[in-house]
Amino acid sequence: MRKKNPPAWALGMLQFFCKDRYLEQIEGDLLELFDREKSVRKAKRKFGWNTMRFFRLRYLKGLDDFEQLTTLAMIKNYLKIAIRTLLKQKSYAGINIAGLAIGIASCLLIFMYIAHERSYDNFYPDVDRLYRVGVGERGAYSPPMLAKTMQEEYSQVEVATRLSGLWETLFKIGDRSFMQAGAGFGDENTFKVFQTEFIHGDPETALLQPDNIVLTESLAQKCFPDELAMNKTIEIDGEVYQVSAIVIDPPKNTHFPYQYIAASLESGHNNWTGNSGWTYAKIQDGVPVEEINLKLKELYYKYVGPEIIDFSGHTSFEEFMEENPNRYYGFTVHPVSSIHLYMPHLSMGPRGDYKNVIIFWVITLFILLIACVNYINMATARSAVRSKEVGIRKAMGSHRKNIIVQFLVESMVITLLAVLIALVISATSIDYFNQLTGRQFTITDLFSPSNILSICLLLIVVGLLAGVYPAYIISGFSPLKALRGQMQQAGKKSLRSWLVSFQFAISIFLVAATVVIYQQVTYMQSKKLGVNIDQTLVISNGNELEDKYELFKNQLEQISGIQQVAKMSNVPFSFVGDWNYTIPADNKREVAPSNVFTVAGAEKVLDIEMVSGRFFDKDRVTDTSAVVINQSLAKEIGLENPLGSVLSRGNGLNFTVIGVMKDFNYASLKREIGPLIYRFGNKHGEMGMWHQRYVIVKVNGSDILKTIGEIEDLWDQQVPNYPFDAGFLNDAFQRQYEGERKFGQVFTTFSILAIFIAFLGLFALTTFVLQKRVKEIAVRKVLGASIPSLLRMMLKDFTRLVFLGGIVGIAAAFYWLEEWLKGYNYRIDLSWYLLALPVVLILLLTWIVVSLKSYKAAVANPSNALKEE
Amino acid sequence: MKNKSYQLGELEELVLMIVAILQENAYGVKVMDEILDQIGRKVNISAVHTVLDRLEKKDFVSSYMGGASSERGGRRKRLFKVTATGSKAIAYVHQTRNELYDKIPKTVLGFQ
């Protein structure tokens, strides 16, 4: 008996990797050395070490050590047979490869898309410690004082920064001027939170001076081609800045795609209630989100509370909260890495949606499954052809295991070919994919290391998924029956039927979804809004007109095609801020309508209908303290006749309601019409010149292009240093549904692909069924069956499958679409015919495919089929 | 006589000579111990095995499995002995070294 035993792991490892030829002598020597050592611990340690030292190429097992040499030869044989079968049945192989290639190509593109969507902002160092801070639970904007205060009062905040953006601004360099997008304004901490690589300049001092500006590399190149941009001056919207640093361009996958950051102008704003910028913070490692939120809540109570009651007139903040209980009082932090997918409304760049990512993923998986089902169906349906081969192999001594391997090799070969074609398909369709997703992928993204890994993974998974069942079934053939000449049909017919109806179900689901999404988009686009937005031209940057607005307006009204001109601070379908008002007559209850400044004439441009009272009148001086509200706000005020009631902004700013407008949609139709207030706009109001940010013009001439040209000439006369920028309100309205349209496009694409693959499979399956039933059809015909009755017989089976799939597909579609439509306040109702339509479509397609194939068999001379036996 | 096939690595040369010294009793651990005893050099057992294997491939040594014993966990030893080519190689190496040594001026070696 041995007194001590060497570590089992080391011996096991040696036995695993070492060639049998060397194993005994090495083990022997190792054991001898082991026994010689006095200390057991030392012996064990040495034994392990020495074992590992034998891990040399010379002792490693090679290919020939694992199995007998015949395995290699057999795999060669399998490959040869696989390629021969493939060439022998070109059309079947073609259908399989085409289907799988399309499925795999969609998978590759979607994998790339998902990887991209999930990678947003992960390139920032310490991204797991970066947070966006907002008001309430989801608010995007935050008070100007927040960043500095939280950094000062809360030691766990490493650094906090305040930003605003991203805007479009006017650049002037020498005698060149152009509009430049991607403008951010930030304080000196911006690049401490968003760390990036500096090409020139110092991150510590880059934004310290109020006239500092940091350019990205590409913008620096654009502004100062072929010279160093450092310390050069640029005039931005009239202010002069000096370039203090140049940084590398931020990558594509960021929610903050800035082109430049200028030192913030807003240092003077010291309030806690005007939420006007973004706040970001870097928090110390390991501080949980709940703790940060709790701490920030204290800040809210300490600073925001007093300012709120100052203006609302309550005696304490607690009392105010009690009366307005439906709000979250505090700030919340959101991880920067989750903004793109989970908090897209906080993003300044491309917006993602995790729901879309999941939906795309599921649909691609479905398409891949349809293609796999094709393979399974065709392989099992055609298995009879291979039964003799299997019989002979078994008679020659093949194990079932070997035959399974053979058929798996075959499915792998097909999958490999499909993958190669899929690479070509995905590379060529990348432009279309970019258009669908609104991203900018290039072919290099397609061949990123992670995507290459998924290509290999797909190869194995799809090869197994498609191949395992047929291989398992075919390998079970009895050699005796096979060699005696009895045809064996593998797999149950019922399983094939189930798989086919599964394909129908997916196709019907996708078609139903496509139809409903387009119906909803059409419905929203043609919905009566309550205002007339046709032929309404919106001229941006009206604030640049300053006091020349009246002059400009008069000039415009001279043009023959122009009926009416007015100005507004916010036009419909663009962002409108909610402003707080109190109702002094109702115990200072608070309302928060969307707040817009406008003037007399707007009601004529937009065709606003008044329910009671009147719109502004430019001849009445008292209208500066008058407001017009919509029905929704009137309802919130709660009076039967709200005319004459007073709304207060605090500090003695009181406004009298002079009219009630009929509700109209001024925002997306996803939401219901919220309360809206129209204030009289002039430059002494709370928004200054921004009250005339937009000039709205009703254009009614026959030659609209000419009219716009004339308007542009007039603008250039009045504001020579600012480019003319105008667009039609209707376009802005349509643009709101861009996302839905793209969504619809995605579904159309996927439905077409799914139907295409499924019907390829159906076509092949019909061909095969007909081949098997050709004698039956001939006998029936001889006995007097008519051609229509024969066709009916063939169609009956498939019709049943379509209905079976239809029930499942429609049920799933109904459930999901009902859920999807819940996101829209103005929505279509799901009617039976919307959902029956896809079933009818698929049924018709099925009939066409099956009849085309069957007709040939039905009209054929039965003697041809019967003469051979 | 210059023969390329007699080229030996330093450790190979050493192991070959040790095998020759041990005469039919040479196996991994023994060779390792002998190197330590004779010239006080520590060599890992895996290196010894590798060198022996290499020498066998070059046909300088031949090997056979020894009898089983209760020691070494019942594992047999692989015993090595020098082949005729191996003996020639040792002689060749010895001779070339001596020739070279003789050509070295005595003054360089530091004694008269």
d(CA B28, nearest CA chain A) in Å: 6
- A27:B73 CB<8 A: yes
Residue A50, classed as helix, strand or coil, is: helix
Radius of gyration over every alpha carbon of chain B, rounded to an integer in angstroms: 16
d(C-alpha A349, C-alpha A184), whole Å = 12
Q: How confident is the model at residue B1 (pLDDT cuts 50, 70, 90)?
A: very low
- A31:B53 CB<8 A: no
Q: Is A37 on the interface with B (CB under 8 A)?
A: no
- B29:A26 CB<8 A: no
Q: What is the mean pLDDT of residues A384-396?
A: 85
d(C-alpha A298, C-alpha A164), whole Å = 25
- B65:A54 CB<8 A: no
Q: Quick check: A257 and A341 in contact, CB under 8 A?
A: no
Per-residue model confidence (pLDDT) at position A3 = 56
Per-residue model confidence (pLDDT) at position A381 = 82
Q: Is A431 on the interface with B (CB under 8 A)?
A: no
- Answer whether residue A467 shows pLDDT above 50: yes
Q: Quick check: A710 and A537 in contact, CB under 8 A?
A: no
Q: What is the mean pLDDT of residues A789-815?
A: 91
Name the residue with higher pLDDT: A418 or A736. Answer: A418
Please tell me the least confidently modeled range out of A102-106, A113-117, A814-818, B63-67. Answer: B63-67
d(C-alpha A24, C-alpha B54), whole Å = 18
| Chain A interface disruption, residue of B49, B53, B55, B77, most A CBs within 10 A | B49
Q: Is B45 on the interface with A (CB under 8 A)?
A: yes
Residues in chain A closer than 8 A to B69 (CB atoms):
none
Instruction: Report pLDDT digits (tens) over A240-260.
Output: 899 999 999 999 889 999 999
Residues in chain A closer than 8 A to B71 (CB atoms):
32, 35
d(C-alpha A320, C-alpha A300), whole Å = 14
Per-residue model confidence (pLDDT) at position A1 = 41
Name the residue with higher pLDDT: A513 or A2. Answer: A513
- The percentage of residues in chain A with a pLDDT greater than 70, rounded to a whole number, is 96
Question: Residue A607 CA to chain centroid, in angstroms?
Answer: 37
d(CA B45, nearest CA chain A) in Å: 7
For strand A233-236 and strand A157-173, is the pairing parallel, antiparallel, or unpaired? Answer: antiparallel
Per-residue model confidence (pLDDT) at position A266 = 56
Q: What is the mean pLDDT of residues A19-44?
A: 85
Residue A686, classed as helix, strand or coil, is: coil
Q: Is A726 on the interface with B (CB under 8 A)?
A: no
The number of residues in chain B equals 112
Radius of gyration over every alpha carbon of chain A, rounded to an integer in angstroms: 37
Q: Is A307 on the interface with B (CB under 8 A)?
A: no
Per-position DSSP letters for A139-204, written without gaps between them: ---B-TTHHHHHHHH-TTEEEEEEEEEEEEEEEEETTEEEEEEEEEEE-TTHHHHS---EEES-TT
Instruction: Report pLDDT digits (tens) over A808-818.
Output: 999 999 999 99
d(C-alpha A397, C-alpha A764), whole Å = 33
- A33:B72 CB<8 A: no
Instruction: Report pLDDT digits (tens) over A638-667.
Output: 888 888 889 988 777 889 999 999 999 888
Per-residue model confidence (pLDDT) at position A265 = 55
Q: Which residue of A has its CA nearest to B75?
A: A28
Per-residue model confidence (pLDDT) at position A170 = 84
For strand A581-583 and strand A278-283, is the pairing parallel, antiparallel, or unpaired? Answer: unpaired
Q: Is B81 on the interface with A (CB under 8 A)?
A: no
Per-residue model confidence (pLDDT) at position A277 = 81
d(CA B46, nearest CA chain A) in Å: 5
Location of structure tokens 């030869």: A73
- B44:A50 CB<8 A: yes
Q: Give me the residues paired with residue A246 across strands.
A: A200, A215
Q: Which residue of B has its CA nearest to A57?
A: B50
- B45:A2 CB<8 A: no
Among A128-142, A235-249, A853-867, the range with the most confident prediction by mean pLDDT is A235-249
d(CA B78, nearest CA chain A) in Å: 6
* Phi then psi dihedrals of residue B58, to 5 deg: -80, 0
Please tell me the least confidently modeled range out of A70-79, A723-732, A755-764. Answer: A70-79
Residues in chain B closer than 8 A to A50 (CB atoms):
44-46
Q: Quick check: A149 and A303 in contact, CB under 8 A?
A: yes
- As a whole number, the mean pLDDT across chain A is 86
Per-residue model confidence (pLDDT) at position A63 = 60
Instruction: Report pLDDT digits (tens) over A286-321.
Output: 888 888 898 888 888 888 888 877 777 777 888 888
d(CA B94, nearest CA chain A) in Å: 30
Q: Which residue of B has its CA nearest to A52?
A: B46
**Which CA distances in Å does A841 have to A748, A749, A829?**
14, 16, 21
Please tell me the least confidently modeled range out of A231-245, A263-277, A347-361, A842-856. Answer: A263-277
Which two three-digit tokens encode residue B39? Answer: 């010239």
Per-position DSSP letters for A2-37, written without gaps between them: -SS---HHHHHHHHHHB-HHHHHHHHHHHHHHHHH-
Residue A418, classed as helix, strand or coil, is: helix
Residue A132, classed as helix, strand or coil, is: strand
Q: What is the mean pLDDT of residues A526-540?
A: 87
Q: Is A11 on the interface with B (CB under 8 A)?
A: no
d(CA A23, nearest CA chain B) in Å: 10
d(CA A38, nearest CA chain B) in Å: 16
Per-residue model confidence (pLDDT) at position A839 = 92
- Answer whether residue B71 shows pLDDT above 80: no
- Answer whether residue A858 shows pLDDT above 80: yes
Instruction: Report pLDDT digits (tens) over A682-715.
Output: 888 777 888 888 999 998 877 888 888 889 999 9
- The percentage of residues in chain B with a pLDDT greater than 70, rounded to a whole number, is 94
Terminal CA-CA length for chain A: 76
Residues in chain A closer than 8 A to B46 (CB atoms):
50, 53-54, 56
Q: Is B67 on the interface with A (CB under 8 A)?
A: no
Instruction: Report pLDDT digits (tens) over A551-581.
Output: 999 999 888 888 889 999 888 888 777 788 8
- A53:B28 CB<8 A: no
Among A29, A35, A56, select the one facing B45 at the smallest CB separation: A29
* Phi then psi dihedrals of residue A702, to 5 deg: -80, -30
| Beta-carbon pairs below 8 A across chains A and B | 57
| Reported pTM | 0.73
Which two three-digit tokens encode residue A869? Answer: 């036996």
Residues in chain B closer than 8 A to A30 (CB atoms):
45
Which residues between 6 and 35 in chain B have a beta carbon less than 8 angstroms from any beta carbon of chain A?
27-29
Residues in chain A closer than 8 A to B33 (CB atoms):
none
d(CA B75, nearest CA chain A) in Å: 5
- Answer whether residue B69 shows pLDDT above 80: no
d(C-alpha A722, C-alpha A237), whole Å = 9
Q: How confident is the model at residue A203 (pLDDT cuts 50, 70, 90)?
A: confident
Name the residue with higher pLDDT: A165 or A602. Answer: A602
Q: What is the mean pLDDT of residues A280-285?
A: 91
d(CA A357, nearest CA chain B) in Å: 55
- B49:A28 CB<8 A: no
Q: How confident is the model at residue B19 (pLDDT cuts 50, 70, 90)?
A: very high
Q: Is A25 on the interface with B (CB under 8 A)?
A: yes
